[in-house]
Chains A and B, each alone.
Chain A
Amino acid sequence: MADVAIGWAGLALSLILVAVAVGLSLWQGLRLEREMLWATARALVQLLAVGYVLVLLIDEDTPVAWAWAWVVVMLAVAALTVRRRAPEVPGITRLTVIATAASTALSLSVVFGLGVYPMVGRAVVPIAGMMIGNSIGSIVVASRRILAELADRRPEVEARLALGQPWQEASKPFVRSALRTALTSQIENTKAVGLVFLPGAMTGLILAGADPLDAVLVQAALMYLILGCVATNVVVIGLGLTRRLFTPDHRLVRLARTGGG
């Protein structure tokens, strides 16, 4: 592996491109220079910290329980990240924990239960990380879409409620449309993989010297897992959030864009 490690000097050289980005921002008056430098520094510190933790976690002598503890930390960070990106969605932190825990449990039980990978720290942490990481985007999209659909289409939803439909029925067309939107982007990603972009895991493996065909198999397995994981997330969010947006007596709660009478 020594031949693919870029070392500190290599890392320093890659900063040239950050300098280019900063230069472009200055030239175009975008005022994003500070933001870029902060992001660059922050990413490095976060990755280094994680790197050191990973060294410990994937050590063969470290009990796998520590890897699971790390997964719990990732779930918490994911929930906080989603809350920051979709603060208008009520109860989103709790829903995210439930959705990501369910989807991660499902994918990991397939991976480890069927013996695709042995259940060791080296597999648990990166695979769970991928599932949780991909969950964040889909949860943000699904929850925001559901909220926007129900707020924008409030007259239709209430017309259905006024006909005596229970909330589950009255919300169905709108929640379905939101969930389709959230899932479609992941389906498109899955279709475009390899043709348009080489995904992270595969790129990393190839750069690290693995046989490209092995890298492809790993990546394909991961893409399928991610698709299943995203679908699980989206459905859990769909059910959980919609339930929260209606009262037990079948009224749509007041949402950000509602008007009075």
Chain B
Amino acid sequence: MPAAPLYELVGVGLVIDGATILAGVELTIADAGITVVLGPSGAGKSMLLRLLNRLEVPTAGEVRYRGEPVDALDPLELRRRVGMVFQRPAPFPGTVRDNLLVADPGAGDDELAAALGDARLDRAFLDRSADELSGGEAQRMCLARTLVTRPDALLMDEPTSALDPEARQGLERTARRLADGGRPLVWVTHDLAQADRLADDMVVMVGGHVADEEERARFIAGAGDGGDDDGHGRGRRRRRDGAAAAGEAGGEEEEDARG
């Protein structure tokens, strides 16, 4: 029997206060590499991500994590197995060390420094005040904070939308390194160029569902310069040249996401 995918979404719908956010989402997310969820604002990408670690629960259908229905798992355990980095860094009061200790109060400095290292921050940051970090540093600290829980997989919700181009590229390289090191990663973005740089597998969402071929082509034509993407099937494409994508990330043009 083949190994279960990281996530499976079967007929997933989400209605909040009478508004349909997601409807009939059918999706499989591979247990390796970077899966990019791409789409315009309001497509339901972030809500989709929140369903994956149960910050939201679907009003229809089922979400499965490695074959198990998410609602049958202990939500706290699930959230430690699947770390989440949000769109805007949310540092807690105190030093970087204090922040990381929230994730594991028993962790020693060496473990914390290792998590910082994985997020490409120096050990010396441990004593820095978290509210004095730059946007990029704060987002890396949030990533490190998540890594302290030693998650099996990572969910990243437009993590670079508040960052300058340099910090954005740095975080993309870090994500690639983590994914290549064995942590599958789901990365939400509305930035086509970023999706192209990062994706091993790409899912396009529009209007609360996975885009069909026509919707996908329309979105890509509208979002990018239109000429670089064709021949990809039904709302998603698959690519397994991750290392090459990581290499590109450093040399991208300066065109930035609007945030």
A261 contacts B44, C-beta separation under 8 Å: yes
Given contacts A260-B16, A261-B45, A261-B49, 14 further A-B contacts (CB under 8 A): A155-B86, A158-B86, A159-B90, A159-B92, A159-B142, A161-B55, A162-B86, A163-B149, A166-B76, A251-B54, A251-B55, A254-B17, A260-B46, A261-B44
A163 contacts B75, C-beta separation under 8 Å: no
Query: What's the dominant secondary structure at chain A's contact region?
Result: loop
Asked if A144 is at the interface (CB within 8 A of a chain B CB), the reply is no
**B77: chain A residues within 8 A (beta carbon):** 164
Q: Closest A residue to B70 by CB, please name it.
A: A249
Q: Please report the C-alpha to C-alpha distance between residue A165 and residue B102 in the assembled complex, in whole angstroms.
A: 8
**A165: chain B residues within 8 A (beta carbon):** 76, 102
B102 contacts A163, C-beta separation under 8 Å: yes
Which chain B residues in 161-183 approach chain A with CB under 8 Å? Answer: none
| Min CB gap B59→A, angstroms | 13
Asked if B50 is at the interface (CB within 8 A of a chain A CB), the reply is yes
> Given A251-B57, A261-B44, A261-B47, A162 and B92 touching (CB < 8 A)?
no
A250 contacts B75, C-beta separation under 8 Å: yes
Cross-chain pairs A/B with CB under 8 angstroms, 12 sampled: A162-B83, A162-B86, A163-B80, A163-B102, A163-B149, A164-B76, A165-B102, A249-B71, A250-B75, A260-B16, A260-B19, A260-B46
Q: How many A-B residue pairs have CB under 8 A?
A: 68
B149 contacts A164, C-beta separation under 8 Å: yes
Asked if A122 is at the interface (CB within 8 A of a chain B CB), the reply is no
**B49: chain A residues within 8 A (beta carbon):** 261
Asked if A60 is at the interface (CB within 8 A of a chain B CB), the reply is no
| Min CB gap A4→B, angstroms | 55
Q: Please report the C-alpha to C-alpha distance between residue A161 and residue B55 in the assembled complex, in whole angstroms.
A: 8
| Min CB gap A75→B, angstroms | 33
B90 contacts A156, C-beta separation under 8 Å: yes
**B102: chain A residues within 8 A (beta carbon):** 160, 163, 165
A163 contacts B46, C-beta separation under 8 Å: no
| Min CB gap A242→B, angstroms | 17
| Min CB gap B258→A, angstroms | 16
| Min CB gap A162→B, angstroms | 4
| Min CB gap A252→B, angstroms | 8
Q: Please report the C-alpha to C-alpha distance between residue A35 and residue B157 in the assembled complex, in whole angstroms.
A: 51
Q: Closest B residue to A252 by CB, please name it.
A: B55
B79 contacts A159, C-beta separation under 8 Å: no
Q: Closest A residue to B47 by CB, please name it.
A: A261
Q: Please report the C-alpha to C-alpha distance between residue A155 and residue B142 in the assembled complex, in whole angstroms.
A: 12
Which chain A residues in 211-261 approach chain B with CB under 8 Å? Answer: 249-251, 254, 260-261
| Min CB gap B109→A, angstroms | 19
Name the contact of B79 in the complex, choosing from A155, A163, A260 (C-beta under 8 A): A163
| Min CB gap A153→B, angstroms | 9
Q: Please report the C-alpha to C-alpha distance between residue A155 and residue B84 in the assembled complex, in whole angstroms.
A: 12
A261 contacts B76, C-beta separation under 8 Å: no
**A158: chain B residues within 8 A (beta carbon):** 55, 86, 90
Q: Closest A residue to B79 by CB, please name it.
A: A164
Asked if B133 is at the interface (CB within 8 A of a chain A CB), the reply is no
Asked if B35 is at the interface (CB within 8 A of a chain A CB), the reply is no
**A160: chain B residues within 8 A (beta carbon):** 92, 102
| Min CB gap A74→B, angstroms | 36
| Min CB gap B101→A, angstroms | 11
Asked if B236 is at the interface (CB within 8 A of a chain A CB), the reply is no
**A251: chain B residues within 8 A (beta carbon):** 54-57, 75
| Min CB gap A249→B, angstroms | 5
B80 contacts A164, C-beta separation under 8 Å: yes
Q: Please report the C-alpha to C-alpha distance between residue A165 and residue B92 in the assembled complex, in whole angstroms.
A: 14
Q: Please report the C-alpha to C-alpha distance between residue A254 and residue B14 in the assembled complex, in whole angstroms.
A: 14
Q: Please report the C-alpha to C-alpha distance between residue A173 and residue B56 in the assembled complex, in whole angstroms.
A: 23
Q: Please report the C-alpha to C-alpha distance between residue A174 and residue B47 in the assembled complex, in whole angstroms.
A: 24
**B93: chain A residues within 8 A (beta carbon):** 173
Name the contact of A161 in the complex, choosing from B19, B79, B88 (C-beta under 8 A): B79
Q: Which 5 pairs of residues, A with B, have the shortest CB-CB distance?
A: A261-B46, A164-B80, A159-B90, A162-B84, A155-B90
Which chain B residues in 75-116 approach chain A with CB under 8 Å? Answer: 75-77, 79-80, 83-84, 86, 88, 90, 92-93, 102-103
Asked if B160 is at the interface (CB within 8 A of a chain A CB), the reply is no
| Min CB gap A198→B, angstroms | 41
Name the contact of A249 in the complex, choosing from B17, B19, B57, B90 (C-beta under 8 A): B57
Q: Closest B residue to A166 by CB, please name it.
A: B76
Name the contact of B55 in the complex, choosing from A156, A162, A173, A260 (C-beta under 8 A): A162
Name the contact of B145 in the complex, choosing from A155, A161, A163, A260 (C-beta under 8 A): A163
Asked if B194 is at the interface (CB within 8 A of a chain A CB), the reply is no
| Min CB gap B152→A, angstroms | 13
